Each structure stands twice: as C-alpha cells, then as structure tokens.
Structure 1
Amino acid sequence: MMIRSGDAVLHVRDEGPRGSPVVLFANSLGTDLRVFDALFARLPRDLRVVRYDKRGHGLSDLTPGPYTIDMLSDDAIAICEALDLRDVTFVGLSIGGLIAQSFAIKRPDLTRALVLMDTAAKIGTAETWGERIAALSGGGIASISDSILSRWFAPAFLAGPEASQWRNMLERTPLEGYIACCEALAAADLTDGCARINCPAIAIAGALDGATPPALVAETARLCNAAFHVIEDAGHLPCVEKPDAVAALITDFLKKGSHD
C-alpha cells in the first residue's frame, strides 16, 4: 500500500493479524524493506508487522533533499496515524535506528519499545559524511559500493553469491535519495534526546560491523538503558547474515518485556 506523509508517498507493507502487537521496521541507508525479509520469516506469526521504504528509497517517493532525521521520523508517525497503530515496538536498522529514537522522543505515547540495530545516537561526523557525499557526487553509488559492502557484511558472506543481491539493491538506490539521507545523518545528534527515552529497549550490533562498531552501539544502549547484544560473525546488517540469532533476540524481548 501507499501512504502519504507531507510531500511524499511512502511504500508500506502491513502484514499479520489486526489487533496483535505491532512491530514497525525502518530500513538502513541503501536498502529497502526487503532487508528484513529473512527476519520477518522467522518472527512469530501472531505479530502485526509493518515495514516501509523510507523516502528516497525503494518504492517510496524521491523528494528533494536534504532530509533530516526529524522529517524521516515524521514519516513513521504519519504511517502510524494512517494505520491507527499504537503501542508500537519500533525496530530501526542503522539510519532506521535514528528514526526510531527520534520517533520515541517525539511520540512516547505511540512507543511501546525499541530495538536499535547497528545504530547510534550519532553516526559519523559532518566531515566524514561530507566526504562520502563528495565521492557519490563524483562517481555515483557504484564507485564506493565495495567499501560499503565490506562494512555491511563479514568476509565469508561477502564472498558468497548472496552478496550480489545486496550490491544490486545498494547500487540501484536513487542517488539523490541516498545523498539526502547522508545529509540527514551528517546533521543528526540525538545524544541528549536519547538519554530521555524511558521505554523498554534492546540494542543489537554485528561483531564485525564496520559502519557502527559494537562499542558505538553499546554507548547508545547505555544512554537509553537498553540491554546490549552482539551477533558474532556479522557486519552492519545482522538481520541479513544471521536472521535466526536476531529473530531469537527480538522474540525473547517481545515475550519478556515489551508486550507484557
């Protein structure tokens, strides 16, 4: 389905029984909602799972940049309001984790719990994101896809045939949407707001993550009093490489704490 949020129309997939606990997923930079396919297949069937392509990615509208994390979290709020979602467990991957934090800070009334996956309250610096934007502007996404993929995945996964679909997804992301999200990341620092989050939360990091290393994720977990878990032999997208391990953590979290 398609849902309007301000000047964008967003591609949304809403699956599972109505009236069940709601889990909302926000994707990472350079992916779309399919990044959660393997994880979704391993979650309990009695959940209402809502996934969407953030603006500038997948089948959602490409609107002029720059974007901000505030704008992107407003998109998530618009989806919740359109679908009348309440008591949401928000699973955010990478930039999706910043969107989830912003969502929880602005709308605690909608937020049941958070799962912060390979993310942080602040990722990189304005200078490092500026360098990436310059490289993208000069050569496009394909010119830096090797370095991105080396941060996304462990060497063994990267050497296998499955890595090709993620390279294709990354390189087919609209350049303008990718850059607009880089600009959002360059400006984002939710450190102060993250410390005010008081809902149940867990944080997950791939042990080999080259984009948001485990120590960075652990610091954000500390800020929002989240339990911290490391997924061995995984990079920045553990939901792709190790979906069984990630699904087990999320399922256990849902059973024990977030939907009592």
Structure 2
Amino acid sequence: MDGAVYRFGQYALDADRRRLSHDGQRVDVEPRALDLLCHLVEHRGRVVSEDELRDMMGRGHAVSEAALAALLRTARLAIGDSDTRQQLIRTMRPHGYRFVAHTTVASTAPAAPPPAPGGGAAADREVIRFCRSADGTRIAYALTGEGPPLVKTANWLTHLDLDRTSPMWAHWFDGLTRGRQLVRYDERGCGLSSWDMGSFTLDDLVADLDAVADAVGLDRFPLLGVSQGGAVAVAYAALRPERVSHLILTSAYARGQLIRAGSHAERDAAEVDLDIARAGWRSQDSSSSFLRYFASQFLADATPAEWDAFAAYQRQTTSPANGLRFLEEFTRIDVSGVAHEVTCPTLIIHSRDDARVPVAQALELATLIPDSRLVLLEGRNHLFTGDDPAWPTFLTHLYNFLSE
C-alpha cells in the first residue's frame, strides 16, 4: 500500500518515505536493509522467499547469500529483533522469511508529487554542473538526491555521466542518497572535468574540493574520502576545520606506496607494481594481463570478466597519459604531517585483507588523527561491491556515525 505507515510495538515504518522511528525518534538504517524490512512488512501475510528478496534487493545484480544474511541481520537489529530472538522477523524453513509482529496501518501519506521530467525518486534526480578551481581548471560536480549534504571526494577514477550505470558505483548511489544529497565531482584530468590537468599537486586537489563546496553553497558538511580521496579529505579537514563536521575514510591511506616504503624490498615492490600499472595503461587491450592484475587489487573477489569491465571503464574516464600521471602522483601523496590537525570526529573503515592498500594504513590513520575510531571489516575488496557482505555493514556504520 503506497504511503502506508505501519505500526508494530513502539515502532512506526513509513513505507513511502522509507523512514523508521521508535517512540517518535528516527532510527537510522542502511537503505537496502530498510528496503528489505519494508518488503517483509508490506507482504506480512505470507512467507517471502529468499529468491524473491534477492531479486528485489539486487535490482538486476546478483545478491549473495552472505550479503542477504547481513542485510537481514541489520533489519532485525534496527527493530530490536535478532537472528535468535525472531519475535518480529521469523525464519521459515526451508528458504523464506515472514514478518509476524502484530501490525496496524496507522495512516496513509498524501500522494507523492509527480516525478521530475526524465526522473523518478529523489535519489534518481541528478544535476551536473561546473565550477572553476582556484587556478581556473574546470571541475564538474553533481548533486544527487535530497536532504542534508554528504560530500564525497574524487577518487580513482570517476566519470559523472557514466557512474550511475556502472556496476562499480551504482550501489553507492542507492546507499548514499536515501535521505541525503550526495555531492560528488570528477577529479581534474578525468570524467567531465578538464583533461588538461596543468598543475597536479595535493594543494590543487584540496582547492578543487573547496571550489565545489563553494559552488554548492555549503557551510558545514560531512566528508567521505575513498581510497586516495581519503588523503585529500584528510588534508581538507585539516585546512578547513570550520567546514567539516564529520570525516569518513574508507580504504584510505596517509602515505602513497612509494612514500611509505620502508626498505629496499618494499620500494622495489612499489616500483614493480607501478611498472605493471604503466604497462597496462600503455596497452591497447583492456583484457591484458597487466590491467587484470591492476583491477584485481581493487576487486580481489571479482571475476576476470569483471576485472576486464573495470579496466574498460577506466579507459573511458581519462586518457592514458593522464592515467599514468595519476598513478605516479598518488604513489607519492603524503598527509601524515597534517593528519594530527584534523579536529572533527573521524570514522575509519577498512577491509582487513585489502589487496590494494594494506590495513596497516588504516591503523596509521587511526593513530595520526586524534578523535578517530577504527572499524575493520572482513573482506579483500579495496572498493566495496554491491554483493560484498561488507557493503551493508559499511553503510550501517556510516549512517550511525552521521546521526551522532
């Protein structure tokens, strides 16, 4: 029933607005777990099969058994239930679930306004705009969804016009735009930003982020940094403490691979890794062994076909010359000297067995940043995929942190 508000115990679930509350206080829930809860409540008169839930949650992409179990656990915890308690959501053998709590329909929300032309829900509405950085470089940025802002720094590699349909990033929109407006931008040198990079220093990257924040009209906002975007986020939070309310660092590092090499062996390994990446970018074949190796560091649990798709996507985002320059500059990035100047609450999330950036880098960040907390997730992926069991856990931690 569209617009229905379901009440069970001390909880109210507004299915239309995708909002859960307890005694009138909003409960922050990872969006896909909230979708699962809504589906079970709306279909509480029957057993909902695992296959139906996977189809509903996947939206055309495969959802693993582990990912479904993690989402179900998150949904249960949000309403005071658990895998063993099962007073609201009951596991039905052999392969299904049923919402069994006594439920009443308290009210019906007014009809939603018609969608904007060419768009659907708020999360699907997107505006791409352009601004100029301090040195005049054109930077493309996008606003997606509605609500308080969440700014994501640019990272390797993006294209505002392609990311919405890329399997690599599509689930990030679903996860980060429910109840929030996601502000993201393309790094100078890639995507819709100017490919004439000119100067390319850490100060330039911080200035690009500042230009986007100014163009959007943001005063104070939470900042999410992924991979090398985490280093930019740390530098920005240290430089502009009055603007950053919360800092979230995911798969991030303070020092690039060449900078953090502490021995001849580590430096040799870093140079070999860079040479392999260079060879891949100079190759004309997206399925070359060099590019597959490079992609496997970002997506350790993916298939060769998914590695090839990732490599092909990268080639659409920038030129080989720019790609090589990105690689070389990011191995030398270093924010270890300013990380202690970050004053806002900081959440650091990292996969224990990250194949691209070792977990030691997360530990270093947690040591350097004063008011920080560290969450280590099981997994090997550097970039969380949609069916990665760590993905819903990451979002749960992020939303809980932002609600503080």
Give me the TM-score of the superposition, normalised by structure 1: 0.85
Q: Which residue of 2 aligns with 1:171?
A: 315
State the Cα distance separating 1:160 from its structure 2 match: 7.0
Indicate the larger mover: 107-116 or 238-247: 238-247
| Residue 205 of structure 1: how far off its partner (Å) | 1.0
* Distance in 2 between residues matched to 1:41 and 1:56, nearest whole Å: 26
What's the counterpart of residue 206 of structure 1?
A: 351
User: 1:7 and 2:136 equivalent?
Assistant: yes
Q: Is the contact between residue 129 and residue 182 of structure 1 (CA under 8 Å) also seen in structure 2?
A: no
Q: CA deviation at 1:138?
A: 8.3
**Matched-pair contact (CA < 8 Å) for 1:130–1:186:** no
Q: Is the 8 A contact 1:26 1:100 kept in 2?
A: yes
The alignment status of 1:71 with 2:199, answered yes or no, reads no
- Cα shift readout 1:206-253 (whole Å, capped 9, x = no counterpart): 233122111211221221132111222241102654432222121111
Q: For residue 13 of structure 1, give the secondary structure of its aligned residue in structure 2.
A: strand
Displacement of 1:36 after TM fit? 4.3
Call closer, same or farther: CA 1:137–1:44 in 2, change over 3 Å.
closer
Counterpart of 2:367 (choices 222, 226, 229) is 222
Any idea what SS the aligned residue of 1:192 has?
Answer: coil
Alignment of 1:246 with 2:394, yes or no, is yes
Matches within 5 A, 1:153-172: 153-155=299-301, 158-159=302-303, 162-172=306-316
1:69-108 equivalences in 2 (<5 Å): 69-108=202-241
Number of residue pairs matched by the alignment: 252
Decide whether aligned partners of structure 1 residues 53 and 111 sit closer, same or farther in structure 2, where only a CA change above 3 A counts. same
Find out whether 1:62 has 2:179 as its counterpart.
no
> What is the match of residue 195 of structure 1?
340
Q: Which residue of 2 aligns with 1:27?
A: 154
For normalisation by structure 2, the TM-score amounts to 0.57
The amino acid that maps onto 1:15 is: T
1:22 aligned partner, one-letter code: P
Larger Cα-atom Rg: 2
User: Cα deviation per residue 1:94-132 (whole Å; 9 max; x = unaligned)?
Assistant: 111111011111111211111111111112115536962
* Paired amino acid for 2:132: R
Work out the CA distance in 2 between the residues paired with 1:206 and 1:148.
Answer: 18
Q: In terms of mean alpha carbon deviation, does 24-33 or 204-213 score higher?
A: 24-33
* 1:97 to 1:58, Cα distance in 2 relative to 1, 3 A: same
Following superposition, the deviation at residue 42 of structure 1 comes to 2.1
What is the one-letter code of the residue matched to 1:167? A
CA contact (8 A) 1:55 1:61 kept: yes
- Inter-partner Cα distance in structure 2 for 1:221 and 1:178: 30
Q: Which amino acid aligns with 1:190?
A: V
Q: 1:30-51: CA deviations, max 9, x gaps?
A: 3445354312312363212101
Give the gaps of 5 or more residues in structure 2: 1-128, 260-266
Which position in structure 2 is the counterpart of 1:136?
A: 278
Cα distance, 1:7 vs. partner?
Answer: 3.1
Tell me the residue number matched to 2:115.
none
SS of equivalent to 2:341: coil
CA 112–145 in structure 1, closer or farther in 2 if over 3 Å, else same: same
* Amino acid corresponding to residue 123 of structure 1 in structure 2: G
Change (3 A) 1:134 1:150: closer
Once residues 239 and 65 of structure 1 are traced to their aligned partners in structure 2, the CA distance between those partners, rounded to angstroms, is: 33
